[in-house]
Amino acid sequence: MNLDFTYHNPTRIHFGRNALEKLPEELAAHGKNILLVYGRNSIKRSGLYDKMLDILKASGKNVTELSGVKSNPTHSQMMEGVRLVRENAVDLILAVGGGSCIDCAKAISVSAWCEGDAWERYWINYEPVSNDVVPVASVLTMAGTGSEMNGGSVITHEEKMLKQGRVFPSFVNPRFSILDPELTFSVPRLQMASGVFDTFSHLMEQYFSGDDDNTTDYVIEGVMSSLIKSARAALRDPEDYEARSNIMWCATLGLNTITGLSKTQDWEVHMIEHQVGAYTDCPHGAGLAVVSLPYYRYVCRFGLDKFARFARTVWGVDISGMGLEDAALAGIAKLEGFIRELGLPTTLRELNATEEMLPLIAHSTVLLPAGYHTMTAEEVLAVLKACW
Amino acid sequence: MNLDFTYHNPTRIHFGRNALEKLPEELAAHGKNILLVYGRNSIKRSGLYDKMLDILKASGKNVTELSGVKSNPTHSQMMEGVRLVRENAVDLILAVGGGSCIDCAKAISVSAWCEGDAWERYWINYEPVSNDVVPVASVLTMAGTGSEMNGGSVITHEEKMLKQGRVFPSFVNPRFSILDPELTFSVPRLQMASGVFDTFSHLMEQYFSGDDDNTTDYVIEGVMSSLIKSARAALRDPEDYEARSNIMWCATLGLNTITGLSKTQDWEVHMIEHQVGAYTDCPHGAGLAVVSLPYYRYVCRFGLDKFARFARTVWGVDISGMGLEDAALAGIAKLEGFIRELGLPTTLRELNATEEMLPLIAHSTVLLPAGYHTMTAEEVLAVLKACW
């Protein structure tokens, strides 16, 4: 059934080889005090850091830095950012990096002028945001999360062992995002593959729900098909501009909500991965790859038609003459082949999870009702054991 | 080759059965003086007009009306709207109807406070808009043009026999658009079919250009596939909500620029149809249907690979063993079948064009360079003769 929706996405995207040239005119619309949020050394090695500082300086900005943002950005980093925003009256938080940096920037944005405990209010109790937010923008260097064009922010509370996501209203979206595919050329192969699978997972989680025949399902199939083809090309040649630019745009489309409109969705794989991540600090895409195969092999029995369609339209499996269950499993076998092509892990042991962690992960996983089947903690545990 | 682009689309879409309930909170963000722009009697017959006036009254608005907007909105109607905006200090132009009304509303918006001749400045000389614009919004009752989520405005200058389109920057986009698929149930069958083909044409014009393998091509194929399936369902049952809602959303996706990003495009069919429309005042979708078949049969020789792909992915033609040209023509044969299913015309005579008009249409058609082949006026004339 096609659900009612409201869609509003005001992020301005500058995409392409010369996208960074748009930065000065975007900066001109904001105040002088910039908080630059970035990760470890990669943007210094690539020369992007120096280039950014040159542009910011030429634009007359005062720059404060929050560096070292982890691949799973933490509550303590967010609170450090809050302190910096308050002390420096920051006008714009500019994330330079992948989704981790952008998620962290949004978390700082909504928390900086929040009264009380922002983590409790926004990530635990899902309160609406009524305080002022600091504008966020991004220069993207890694494709995958889609954070560059949405209001999502996933934060890990290290002390509480919780990795929690929240989608904020569109006024928290980046005001602008600069997407230059060439900036992703230097991303290591495994991180690129992890990003590709993060995107593919977003698409599957929006696709595998509902028995409907929604326009959005067809759009998702198109984006999946393009992503598979371009990922293979990029594995052969990481500097294939067409492939890397398609991957980058697939990632944005994969979570700018266009590919979820009007549909029920099933985000249980992300929920399980969040807790795998909270316990192992694994790369997000790698955790998703591990969890996806046993999860979909288990739940496909509750939505065979859609899984058979996935085999046919996305993977080109000739399902004529097959039973529905065989067709569904043939599609998941293709998915497994793709995960292996990407060089991603398929067991929790490869993520350094210990056997003792499994029940802890299962019992801290959020259980969502919207998919073909609502999981119990015991079923999550069985899925985890199946990929142990 | 994937082209650089900037994407910014701030229109807020309220979609679904209860979308009209969002109107009061949207109205609250605008001033008291509303210009209501609508067509002939259909919104009065359906009861929507009374409902709109009730909501506007309850919201404390003063309403001025511009009614009788034609399916090809005219320069004189636009100038009448300009007069009404100036005399009543209008704060918001609210279009209620199909793309014609929304296009007219945008034309009034950019022209109301323009110094000099707005038609000459904006539709002929393509000057940038620096004057104030009046905010536009829409309540959509007919799916097809995509005007509800873009900055496009096509106006016919009756005296000059010119139908000219212009895409304005995103600040001219509707601030919000209300899309309730049930409001399209009462659209007559031929108008529905015309809208479906208008959307399909937008998708083809973005698709049939470039030898690239862009993510956007895959998205277009998905939207085309959904549109074909839903159009067939809606022809069987015009009150099939899922089908009508898919058609409505396909129309928006078909021209909110998402389905054109990063691609070269070929809008020559629309250019030819614009002049067919200027001479015959035919319904837009019907004109497109007539022109498309001879046009694509002619230009496919310059882009056989893409036309063969169209046959395979969109129409499910088994092209293995076929030559490329046969494959391409097989896809266009499927397109012709679809046009006949829709009950649309395939000859200019059915649009009341006279033979004397053909050279006038050909020689007033804008010739665009971006497709597989740049047409000459003589080639346009040959296309027109082929569908005479």
Domain-ending residue, one of A183, A203, A225: A183
| B313 domain-assigned | yes
Instruction: Indicate if B257 and B334 belong to the same structural domain.
Output: yes
Report the relative pairing of strands B162-167 and B92-97 from DSSP bridges.
Answer: unpaired
Alpha carbon of A156: minimum distance to chain B alpha carbons (Å): 31
For residue B197, give the 3-state DSSP assignment: helix
Please state, in angstroms and rounded to a whole number, the distance separating the CA atoms of residues A190 and A195: 9
Residues of A in contact with B245 (CB under 8 A): 2, 262
Which of A183, A201, A216 is the C-terminal boundary of a domain?
A183
Q: Is B3 on the interface with A (CB under 8 A)?
A: yes
- Cα dihedral sign, B67-B72-B78-B79: negative
Last residue of a domain, one of A153, A183, A213: A183
Domain-embedded: residue A7: no
> Quick one: residue A101, left, alpha or beta (phi over 0 = left, psi -120 to 50 = alpha)?
alpha
B179 and B195 in a single domain? The answer is no
Neighbours of B41 (CB within 10 A): 11
Output the six-digit token pair for B204: 């083809």
Nearest to B222 among A4, A13, A222 (CB): A222
- Residues on chain A touching B177 (C-beta within 8 angstroms): none
What ipTM goes with this model? 0.96
Q: How many CB atoms lie within 10 A of CB B334?
A: 17
Q: How far apart are CA A16 and CA A133, in angstroms?
A: 29
Q: Kindly state whether residues A235 and A178 are assigned to the same domain.
A: no
Pairs across A and B, CB distance < 8 A:
132
Q: Is residue B5 part of a domain?
A: no
Q: Tell me if chain A has a CB within 8 Å of the CB of B2.
A: yes
Give the pLDDT confidence score for residue B373 in this predicted structure: 96
Q: Using CA of residue B340, residue B342, residue B346, residue B349, what is the dihedral sign?
A: positive
Q: What pLDDT does residue A211 have?
A: 80
pLDDT at site A149: 98
In a domain, A323, yes or no: yes
Q: Do B226 and A215 touch (CB under 8 A)?
A: yes
Give the span between the Cα atoms of B304 and B329, in whole angstroms.
9
Do B239 and B195 belong together in one domain?
yes
CA gap A88, A102 in Å, rounded: 20
Specify whether A250 is located in the same domain as A170.
Answer: no
Q: How confident is the model at residue A150, as a pLDDT?
A: 98
Write the pLDDT tens digit of every residue in B330-345.
999 999 999 999 999 9
User: Best of A1, A7, A221 to disrupt the B interface by mutation (most B CBs within 10 Å)?
Assistant: A7
> Do B198 and B267 share a domain, yes or no?
yes
Give per-residue pLDDT as tens, B31-77: 999 999 999 888 999 999 999 999 999 999 999 999 999 988 999 99
Domain with B76 in it: what CATH number?
3.40.50.1970
> Can you tell me the distance from the alpha carbon of A176 to that of B296, in angstroms, rounded to the nearest whole number?
38
Q: How far is B199 from chain A (nearest CA, A)?
A: 14
Query: pLDDT tens digits, residue range A42-64?
Result: 899 999 999 999 999 999 999 99
Contacts of B266 (CB under 8 A, 6+ apart): B205, B208, B209, B299, B368, B370, B371, B372
Query: What are the CB-based long-range contacts (under 8 Å, 24+) for B159-163?
Result: B159/B75, B161/B278, B161/B279, B161/B364, B162/B278, B162/B364, B163/B72, B163/B274, B163/B275, B163/B277, B163/B278
Tell me how far apart the alpha carbons of residues A131 and A123 are, in angstroms, rounded to a whole number: 15
Q: Are residues B88 and B201 in the same domain?
A: no
Task: Give residue A329's pLDDT.
Answer: 98
- Please state, in angstroms and as integers, the Cα–Cα distance from residue A181 to each residue in A242, A342, B131, following that order: 9, 19, 36
Which of A80, A269, A276 is closest to A161 using CA atoms? A276
pLDDT for B205 beyond 90: yes
- The span from the CA of B226 to the CA of A262, in Å, is 14
Gap between the Cα atoms of A269 and A279, Å rounded: 16
How many C-beta neighbours within 10 Å does residue B339 have?
22
Radius of gyration of chain B (CA): 20
pLDDT tens for B277-321 read: 989 989 889 999 999 999 999 999 999 999 999 999 999 999 999
- Has residue A370 got a pLDDT over 80? no
| % of chain B exceeding 90 in pLDDT | 94
pLDDT at A161: 87
Give pLDDT, residue B53.
Answer: 97
pLDDT of residue B293: 98
Tell me if chain A has a CB within 8 Å of the CB of B376. Answer: no
169-198 of A, contacting B, C-beta below 8 A: 181
Among A193, A238, A195, A207, smallest CA distance to A339 is for A193
Decide: helix, strand or coil at residue B181.
Answer: helix
Contacts 24+ apart (CB under 8 A), A374-377: A375/A268, A375/A299
Same-domain check for residues A196 and A92: no
Is residue B2 in some structural domain? no
Q: By residue range, what is the domain housing residue A97?
A: 12-183
Helix/strand/coil for B8: strand
Dump pLDDT digits (tens) for A157-203: 999 988 899 999 999 999 999 999 999 999 999 999 999 999 999 99
Averaged pLDDT, B111-133: 97
Is the pLDDT assigned to residue A259 strictly greater than 90?
yes
Strand order across the A92-97 sheet: A62-66, A33-38, A92-97, A136-140, A176-179, A5-15, B5-15, B176-179, B136-140, B92-97, B33-38, B62-66
Write out the E strands in chain A. Answer: 5-15, 33-38, 62-66, 92-97, 136-140, 152-157, 162-167, 176-179
**How many structural domains is chain B composed of?**
2
Which of the residue ranges A301-305, A317-321, A367-371, B270-274 would you say has the lowest mean pLDDT? Answer: A367-371
The verdict on a CB contact (< 8 Å) between B15 and A6 is yes
* A53 and A177 in a common domain: yes
CA distance A167 to A165: 7
Residues of A in contact with B182 (CB under 8 A): none
Interface subset of B 240-299, CB within 8 angstroms of A: 241-242, 245-246, 249-250, 253, 258, 261-262
Pairing assessment for the beta strands A176-179 and A152-157 based on DSSP bridges: unpaired
- Band of the pLDDT at A73, cuts 50, 70, 90? very high
Closest CA to B248 of B139, B335, B93: B139
Candidates B213, B215, B222; nearest CB to A249: B215
Residue B3 domain-assigned (yes or no) = no
Of A12, A222, A242, the CB nearest to B2: A242
List the one residue out of B34, B48, B162 whose CA is nearest residue B105. Answer: B34
B29 touches chain A (CB under 8 A): no
A5 strand-pairing partners: B15
Residue A1: inside a domain: no
Q: Are residues A208 and A312 in the same domain?
A: yes
Q: How many CA atoms lie within 13 A of A46 on its CB side?
A: 19
The label of the residue with tokens 């054109």 reads B260
- 3-class SS at B4? coil
Answer yes or no: do A252 and A378 share one domain: yes
Inter-helix orientation angle B189-207/B241-255, to 10°: 40
Same domain, B304 and B344: yes
Query: What's the predicted TM-score (pTM) here?
Result: 0.97
Whether residue A13 and residue B1 make contact (CB cut-off 8 A), yes or no, is no
Q: What is the pLDDT of residues A75-110, one digit of tens each?
A: 999 999 999 999 999 999 999 999 999 999 999 999
- Residue A233 CB-half CA count within 13 A: 17
Would the CB atoms of A222 and B227 count as touching at under 8 Å? no
Strands A152-157 and A162-167: antiparallel
Q: Residues of chain A with pLDDT > 70: what percent? A: 100
Per-residue pLDDT tens over the stretch A285-315: 999 999 999 999 999 999 999 999 999 999 9
Cα–Cα distance between A363 and A94 in angstroms, integer?
37
**Assigned domain for A282 exists:** yes
Per-residue model confidence (pLDDT) at position A55: 98
DSSP secondary structure letters along A53-105: HHHHHHTT-EEEEE----SS-BHHHHHHHHHHHHHHT-SEEEEEESHHHHHHH
> Which CATH number characterizes residue B239's domain?
1.20.1090.10
